[in-house]
Structure 1
Amino acid sequence: MAKYEKLIHGDFERVLNAVHDGIRAGSSSASYEDGSDFEANGIRCAVRVYERYSMAGSNRVSMSVTLVGHGEDLFLSAITAGGSQAVFFKMNTMGEEAFLRRLVDVVERL
């Protein structure tokens, strides 16, 4: 598992779209699996789940991205999972880290 969290100041929709487009453009095997949106009392929350094939691990890895915002104050959390071939412990997390790195690159350019 790899995790990235960041406080961002900006437009919720613009950040969400940039993250979505950046993840999808980062790998030909990246796919958008599903998402959920919620809004109440001026707080917005969007959850997105992506998946891609990892050549390094010869398996698929997933990444859950959550964006929470109140006005232009945003919090983004991304967590990857999968990519390990061991039964009882985690090894070979290169695929997860590479998937997350793509998201980090997108967010840091905002």
Structure 2
Amino acid sequence: MAKFEKHLTGNFDEFLQRISDSVLNGSMSASYEDGSDWTSGEVRCAVRVFERYSAMGGNRVSMNVTLVGKGEELFLTAITSGGSQAVFFKLNTLGEESFLEKLVPIVENYKKRVE
């Protein structure tokens, strides 16, 4: 499991779309599995689950992306899982880390763009 979190400022819908587009276009085998949206007053929450094939591990890896926003204040957390081939403990997390590393520059570039 690998995890990345970031506080930033921006447009919720624009940033969510940028994340989805970038993840899906960042890997030939990436797919959107499912998602959920919730709103309460000014607070919004979007959960997205993506999956892709990991050539390093020879299996599929998933990434859960959660974006919470209140106005222009945003918080993103992304957690990857899967990819290990062991029964009782994790041996190979390279596929998880690699999938997550596709998202980090997207977030960092967006953060710099709106600052």
Measured in 2, the distance between the counterparts of 1:11 and 1:24 equals: 20
Unaligned ranges ≥5, structure 1: none
1:43 partnered with 2:43:
yes
Match of 1:67 in 2: 67
Residue identity over aligned pairs, in percent, reads 63
Matches of 2:39 and 2:55, distance apart in 1: 38
User: Structure 1 residue runs of 4+, over 2 Å off?
Assistant: none
TM-score (norm 1): 0.99
**For 1:4-60, what per-residue CA distance to the aligned partner results, in whole angstroms no more than 9, with x for missing partners?**
000010000111001000100110000000000000111000000000000000000
1:108 pairs with 2:108: yes
In structure 1, the partner of 2:113 is: none
Amino acid at match of 1:101: E
Residues 73-102 of structure 1: CA distance to partner in whole angstroms, max 9, x if unpaired?
A: 000000000000000111111100000000
Cα root mean square deviation, aligned = 0.4
2:22 paired residue number: 22
Q: Which runs of 5+ in 2 are unaligned?
A: 111-115
2:88 matched to 1:84?
no
- Greater share of helix: 2
1:3, distance to aligned residue in structure 2 (A): 0.2
For 1:105 and 1:54, locate their aligned partners in 2 and report how far apart those are by CA, in whole Å: 19
